[in-house]
Amino acid sequence: MKVTYLRATAALALGLVLAACGGKAMFDVSGVIQGLSNSGLVLTNGKDTLPVPAGATSFTFPTRVSYGTDYNMVIQNQPAHMTCNLFNGSGSAGHTTTILATIQCSQNSHSLGGTITGLVGDGTTGDGLVLANGSTGGVFTVPTKPTDGSGRVNFTFSSPVLDGAPYGVTVNTQPNGLFCTVVNGTDVMHEIDVGNVLVTCVPK
């Protein structure tokens, strides 16, 4: 509380001194960026538009603002495959000694799943089916056949897939008495959840 008060007092004093001299303090509209690994981020502040390149860790708008002028930074476009959030992006110049916003970005992710069919037979048929998404994307285990007799099970991997990353679903362990194959199991994750992976099992 004391530090904030001192900053506000210092900014106010600077503005008064410059006003007495016939001028106004000018401020950069700027900020820091965390986690921006993709291109496409565009910021605005009033009429100013600022494209931000991938990998940038800071930004400054081309137009400075004078003491007492309101500013309002906005994320106009999100970067590809990412979501960024902006903090402390609006206010009135001079309330603090600097205008410094924070932008935090993270890669989007989506769920991966589908349907298993053909898990029918005696009490042990269908036991032990294990699906895998690559070597690090998690597994899904079907311990027993469906109890409703349909032979159908919906599945979703517990580990989501990053937007823009490839995925590959395979049968890691075949179930007892059945042979299962995968359709639509390989692609690149895009903007929505994937639920069209089809695993079909038939008797050996």
Domain that holds residue 167: 109-203
d(CA 103, CA 80): 15
Q: Is 134 helix (H, G, I), strand (E, B) or coil?
A: coil
pLDDT score for 120 = 77
* pLDDT band at residue 121 under the 50/70/90 scheme: low
11-33 pLDDT, tens digit each? 444 444 344 334 679 999 999 99
Domain end (from 75, 107, 139) = 107
Phi-psi region of 83 (alpha: psi -120 to 50; beta: other; left: phi over 0): beta
Q: For residues 118 and 153, state if they share a domain.
A: yes
Q: For residues 103 and 19, state if they share a domain.
A: yes
**Helix (H) / strand (E) containing 18:** helix 2-20
pLDDT score for 124 = 55
pTM of the model: 0.71
Q: For residues 97 and 116, state if they share a domain.
A: no
pLDDT score for 14 = 45
Return the amino acid letter for 173: T
Q: For residues 134 and 77, state if they share a domain.
A: no
Q: Is 7 helix (H, G, I), strand (E, B) or coil?
A: helix
* pLDDT band at residue 87 under the 50/70/90 scheme: very high
Domain end (from 107, 123, 140) = 107
Q: For residues 120 and 173, state if they share a domain.
A: yes
40-52 pLDDT, tens digit each? 999 999 999 999 9
pLDDT score for 135 = 81
d(CA 62, CA 71): 13
Structural domain tally of the chain?
2
Q: For residues 121 and 195, state if they share a domain.
A: yes
Q: What is the CATH number of the domain that holds 178?
A: 2.60.40
Q: For residues 8 and 72, state if they share a domain.
A: yes
Q: For residues 150 and 161, state if they share a domain.
A: yes
